[in-house]
Structure 1
Amino acid sequence: MKKEQELKDIVKERYAKIAEQGKAENASSCCGATTPSNKVYNIMMDDYSETSGYIEDADLGLGCGLPTQFAQIKKGDTVIDLGSGAGNDCFVARHETGSEGKVIGIDFTPIMIQKARINAEKLGYNNVEFREGDIDAMPVSNDVADVIVSNCVLNLVPNKEKVIAEIHRVLKPGGHFSISDIVLVGELPVALKEDAEMYAGCVAGAIQKDDYLKFIEDRNFKNIKVQKEKTINIPDDILGKYLSQDEINSFNKGTTGIFSITVYAEKDGVKQEKPKLKLSEIEASDCCEPTSGCC
């Protein structure tokens, strides 16, 4: 297994290229794949186009679910999006939390942060900000978020337990998360599991579904539930890059399943309601703290 930093570097390089290319040229990235004949499959992503708050320029086609649809975001909430990319889920969340709330996107790819900030400026969203950093060491204080969302990102991080611990740290008592991700039931063939492209493509970095849910349980989250689950089928054309025909036949007839799941859980405790801040107070008190990168 490659070292954590090497895997992070692979993902960062891939997603920098994605940010430069845009969605039209990007169908072969995380939630799609190309074959040797350059046929393109979008095998994971869900359609956002009918979602309130959707901004096409911010949608790079990188998701594997619609976590904001299940996130129970309320007006005035503070929402954090992990792996925010060009800002798609942040802008959907902002529609839900309103101008009186706040949305923070975290991403470790500088060009993604730049792209997201440009999109926010075009929209005039002064209560949406983007911070550069790793989601396993978030540039955010303790007990900040009412809601955390993420879309097809934790599977790209080598140390998923650390991310879940960070989610627990950053959520307010009584806060909750809704996260879409890729998980497995059964073992992937070695050729798929060890390929860097498949790691950056959201598959090889996925872990067992039971292990994923246990990490959440072990961090003392409560009311854990799978809000949505769908099967991800890898076309034979893609499998052919890694497996022989006999291996493809065996894989397709086997017990291994690849799934997109959207998981909900709550941090224990009672949420303390606080007076709603005016936008000017939000900007002065938090938006321009040293880690925000917005000043």
Structure 2
Amino acid sequence: MSYLETTHNVYKDAALVPDVGLCCTTNAIWELPGLKIPKIMQEMNYGCGSTVHAKDLTNNPKMLYVGVGGGMELLQFSYFNRQKGGVIGLDVVDEMLEASRKNFAIAEEQNDWFQSDFVDLRKGDALNLPIDDNSIDVAAQNCLFNIFKMDDLKKAVAEMYRVLKPHGKLIMSDPTCEQPMNETLRNDEKLRALCLSGSLPIADYVKILTDAGFGTIEIRARKPYRILDPENYPTDELIFIESIEIAAIKDPMPEDGPCVFTGRTAIFYGKEDYFDDQKGHILYKNQPLAICDKTALALSKLHRDDLFISQSSFNYGGGGCC
């Protein structure tokens, strides 16, 4: 049995009998006017963060969500779209698709604005998306890509890049781990299916995205996720796993490399009203400016004593420049 078959069976069982706690299930439950999340959707919330950000969802974007789970994030996306087929939900597990259909019928009873046909549920594989090129504004996946081994992960990212329109966004939430994992953990198909042993370091994760062509990367949140301890897992040391919420934007690749925002800020506090580095960055006195890592490095090389550059917070909230 391949690791993908193991994953299929894990989520088939989770579709037939909700498994509370299967994944992190600490996603934000949006509290919005008129939005009610059915209890069954919350119980089948098999994600490790949230991919729903209002700033990504203006002007009725065409959306794709891969790995539907219980349908909670699809419902949240539909709240911002409210068009027939405005959100495509894709899954390879028949039982999960059927469970989502039933959950949407409940959601329709509890939300007078929602119609089940707002969501176009389709069977499909993340490694070969049945979606046209350059047709999606916002694509998302939550706690799915970390399950894939490296070659399959690269294929899944490349497929998302293919279907996105220029400047479209891939919004993701996945477990990450900065510590090395032994081969026993890495090769444990069940632990990989449970979103544990496939966790990569953030830098490796980002490189996969930029190698696929994404010119802008935003790391929006970094949160504690799980501990793998020697008593319960095949490891000699405690392994700390975090989850990140990240956006990869299909911007053109800059000549000097991708713009990666990791929550760094520059503050000018000199005698003048502003500082202009003559490379497109104007910093007004005592006004924090979000900057990408590439710009942070360039500014640090100026060795100015009136310029503060913060370390990465891994919590980028938008704005700023590259």
TM class by shorter chain equals: 0.7 to 0.9
Question: Between the two proteins, what is the percent identity of the paired residues?
Answer: 25
Shift of the alpha carbon at 1:69? 2.9
TM-score (norm 2): 0.68
CA–CA separation in structure 1 for the residues paired with 2:54 and 2:143: 15
Larger radius of gyration: 2
Where 1:167 maps in the other structure, the secondary structure is: helix
Q: 1:71–1:177: 8 Å Cα contact kept in structure 2?
A: no
Q: Which residue of 2 aligns with 1:13?
A: 9
CA separation of 1:6 and 1:184: change in aligned 2, threshold 3 A: same
Counterpart residue type for residue 145 of structure 2: L
| Equivalent AA in structure 2 for residue 137 of structure 1 | N
Q: Which one-letter code corresponds to 1:143 in the other structure?
A: N
The CA distance in 2 between the partners of 1:115 and 1:55, in whole Å, is 13
Cα distance change on mapping 1:71 and 1:180 into 2, 3 Å: farther
SS in 2 for 1:112: helix
1:265 corresponds in structure 2 to: 248
Alignment partner of 1:79 out of 55, 63, 67:
63
Supply the distance in 1 between the matched residues of 2:74 and 2:14 (Cα, whole angstroms). 18
The verdict on how the C-alpha distance between 1:222 and 1:101 changes in structure 2, with shifts beyond 3 A counting, is: farther
Within 2, Cα distance between the matches of 1:233 and 1:57? 24
Does structure 1 residue 88 correspond to structure 2 residue 81? Answer: no
- Partner SS state of residue 246, structure 2: strand
Write the distance in 2 (CA, Å) between the matches of 1:70 and 1:149. Answer: 13
| CA deviations over 1:166-211 (Å, ceiling 9, x no partner) | 0111111121121001122121133322322211110112223211
Structure 2 partner of 1:142: 133
CA RMSD of aligned residues (A): 2.1
State the AA in 2 paired with 1:45: T
Q: Return closer, same or farther for 1:200/1:215 CA change in 2, 3 Å cut-off.
A: same
Q: Is 1:227 the counterpart of 2:230 in the alignment?
A: no
Classify 1:129/1:206 alpha carbon distance in 2 versus 1 (closer, same or farther; 3 Å).
same
C-alpha separation in 2, matches of 1:233 and 1:141: 37
- Residue 98 of structure 1 pairs with residue 82 of structure 2: yes
TM-score by length of structure 1 reads 0.74
Kept after mapping to 2: 8 A contact 1:227/1:262? yes
**Quick check: 1:71–1:178 contact (8 Å CA) kept in 2?**
no
Question: Secondary structure of the equivalent of 2:83?
Answer: coil
Kindly indicate which of the two structures has a greater share of residues assigned to helix: 1
Deviation at 1:66, TM superposition (A): 0.8
Q: Describe the superposition over 1:93-119 as per-residue Cα deviations: whole angstroms up to 9, x where unpaired.
A: 000122377000111110001111223
Name the structure, 1 or 2, with higher relative contact order (CA <8 Å, separation 6+): 1
| 1:114 aligns to 2:98 (yes or no) | yes
* Deviation of 1:19 (Å): 0.6
Runs of 4 or more, structure 1, over 4 Å off, are none
Structure 1, gaps ≥5 residues long: 32-43, 270-295
| CA contact 1:146–1:175 (8 Å) conserved in 2 | yes
- How many aligned residue pairs are there? 239
- Which digits, 9 at most, give the CA deviation of each residue in 1:115-167, with x for residues without a partner? 11223344232221111111111111111211011111101123111111001
Give SS of 2:68's match: coil
Alignment of 1:30-49 (within 5 A): 31=23, 44-49=24-29
Q: CA deviation at 1:257?
A: 4.1
Paired residues of 1:80 and 1:149 also in contact (CA < 8 A): yes
